[in-house]
Amino acid sequence: MLLSEVVAASEAVRATRSRKAKITTLAALVGRAGPVAAAQVVAWVSGELPQGRVGAGWRTLAAVEAEPAATATLTVAAVDATLTELAGTVGAGSAARRRELLGSLLAAATAAERDFLVRLLTGELRQGALAAIVAEAVAAAAEVPVAAVRRAAMLSGRLPVTAVAALTGGAAALAEFRLEVGRPIQPMLAAPGATLDGAFEEFGGDVSVEHKLDGARIQVHREGSQVWVFTRTLRDITAGVPELVRLVAALPCESVVLDGETLALTDSGRPRPFQETMSRFATVEPGAAPEITSARDLLLHPYFFDCLHLDGIDFLDAPLRERRAALLRVAGQHAIPALVDPDAESAAEYFDGALAAGHEGIMIKSLAAPYAAGRRGRGWQKIKPTHTLDLVVLGAEWGYGRRTGYLSNLHLGARDPAGGEPIMVGKTFKGLTDALLQWQTAEFPQHERSRNEHTVYLWPELVVEVALDGVQASPRYPGGVALRFARVVRYRPDKTPAHADTIDAVRELLPEGLVVSARSAVEE
């Protein structure tokens, strides 16, 4: 298969907001690629490299001097071979060899192919082809149920591998994928809930009510004496959290996969600020780093709320009631506090108690629901005293007055479920501390997309949590809704734009009976 076919499909996907059109275009591409080139093609249109980092950043690429080719001759196999060699080029003389390989590759590429390759190599290939859309395209190309593709991709953690299996063995091959201890899976996500009473009624009272902790999501795996700890984004942080490794290694089991949160506590047992917990996951966090006076202050305490595997038995498809029973058997003393099968009055009291203990609110979960890995379904709902949303930062305006010289007023966008660019839903400069203003002004230029005299526009890479009093119908923004009294709570370095709330979630906060007067032009 020629690279030019991939580039043409990529451009077609970028040119439309129609989810159906994106899927049709990508399905045709994957079908033409077949099992031989499907893994590379699926990875590329998802904006990823199968080889991971290949040592070709902006500086390296800018140093390459080569005129674009007049005709398209590069094949997918040839490009993949070059990228594999690039990834393996290390040691003495590697920089020169890397320049030589890149020069040869870009010299053989047309102008359009070069643009595609540069954006792919630098992580800037944004074409509205989210993994969910590519998964649907794979299902269409292989003529298998999309649910089978999603599940296999969730269990394998690798959509390109899933695509090859679908094309070669169909639904039967996809059914062979199993949860593998030591390989992380996409976590189940919670949807914002409007009210406790509403969620309680939706689940018919068959619920578990848990504290909503202000911590960092973790997924722990153990096989024998080997332990792994992963973040929400599936990053392996095992080496940086020895106290969690020791705790999991001591659990009374041979193998286990647990989902939960971890956070640092004060001496009185109350949760420390989120930024202090996250200081164990990264060296620099948005805003001023807190002063930590002792190693004890940084100790992380796990609170597990789900069991996905225990001693050879997978529980992904089991209802939460069964999964929680397994959790209590293996890690009861480390399970998150929960109220199971409460009445409405008890649930309300539990909500008040969670707030009094310094937590964000509560999670209300259907005891009948399976674990919907990688999806933000209604089976889990988060209830907080004020509405909060995770939104994508699209830009920032230069401040004035005491904020002169700082990037201040944020442009906020919700995720487009069709895979397009985030949809703007409002602006805010409220809640920004001096430390955050300084951090934004230093950090935002690293994500700059363009600018004018008043505004720096960003690539959609940073996620910020905002609190708001609600939303209102508004023709001012393309999604037809606008935030009311939004203020910044914190940045979320533990989340990617794929974890941001969708425009549909924002619209669900409209007062009952209001109709959105303008909607993003997404064709079904």
Q: Which CATH superfamily is domain 189-383 in?
A: DNA ligase/mRNA capping enzyme (3.30.470.30)
Model confidence at 267, in pLDDT bands (50, 70, 90)?
low
pLDDT at 270: 66
Token pair 């909500």 is found at 351
Query: What does the pLDDT average to over 126-147?
Result: 85
The pLDDT mean for the chain works out to 86
Give the tens place of pLDDT for each residue, 188-238.
888 877 678 888 888 988 999 999 887 889 999 999 999 999 998 888 999
Considering 60-74, 115-129, 181-195, 278-292, the range whose residues carry the highest mean pLDDT is 181-195
CB-based burial label for 312 (10 Å; 0-12, 13-18, 19+): exposed
Residue 517 has pLDDT above 60, yes or no: no
Residue 110 has pLDDT above 70, yes or no: yes
Distance, in Å, from the CA atom of 103 to the CA atom of 67, rounded to the nearest integer, reads: 10
Nearest residue to 191 (alpha-carbon basis) of 415, 345, 469, 411: 415
Q: Which CATH superfamily is domain 3-174 in?
A: DNA ligase, ATP-dependent, N-terminal domain (1.10.3260.10)
The answer to whether 29 and 6 are in contact (CB under 8 A) is: yes
pLDDT at 276: 66
- Contact partners, residue 376, CB within 8 Å, separation at least 6: 189, 190, 191, 502, 505
Query: What does the pLDDT average to over 438-466?
Result: 94
Model confidence at 473, in pLDDT bands (50, 70, 90)?
confident
Model confidence at 60, in pLDDT bands (50, 70, 90)?
low
DSSP line for 287-300: SPPPP--SGGGG-E
Nearest residue to 365 (alpha-carbon basis) of 430, 320, 423: 320
The answer to whether 8 and 72 are in contact (CB under 8 A) is: no
Model confidence at 294, in pLDDT bands (50, 70, 90)?
very low
Nearest residue to 345 (alpha-carbon basis) of 336, 337, 353, 357: 353
Model confidence at 54, in pLDDT bands (50, 70, 90)?
low
Q: How far is CA 412 from the centre of its chain?
A: 17
Nearest residue to 307 (alpha-carbon basis) of 266, 362, 259, 252: 259
Residue 169, CA distances (Å) to 23, 134, 162, 173 in order = 21, 18, 10, 5
Distance, in Å, from the CA atom of 325 to the CA atom of 36, rounded to the nearest integer, reads: 45
Nearest residue to 132 (alpha-carbon basis) of 498, 380, 381, 429: 498
Residue 22 has pLDDT above 50, yes or no: yes
Query: What does the pLDDT average to over 49-54?
Result: 76
**Catalytic center residues:** 212
pLDDT at 266: 66
Give me Rg for the CA atoms of the chain: 24
More confident residue, 261 or 14: 261
Outline which parts of the chain fall under CATH 2.40.50.140: 387-507
Q: How far is CA 269 from the centre of its chain?
A: 30
pLDDT at 263: 83
Residue 272 has pLDDT above 80, yes or no: no
Give the tens place of pLDDT for each residue, 90-104.
788 877 888 888 888
More confident residue, 296 or 440: 440
Q: How many CB atoms lie within 10 A of CB 493?
A: 18
Distance, in Å, from the CA atom of 436 to the CA atom of 152, rounded to the nearest integer, reads: 41
Q: What is the 3-state secondary structure (H, E, C) of 483-497?
A: EECCEEEEECCCCCH
Outline which parts of the chain fall under CATH 1.10.3260.10: 3-174
The hierarchical CATH code for the domain 387-507 is 2.40.50.140
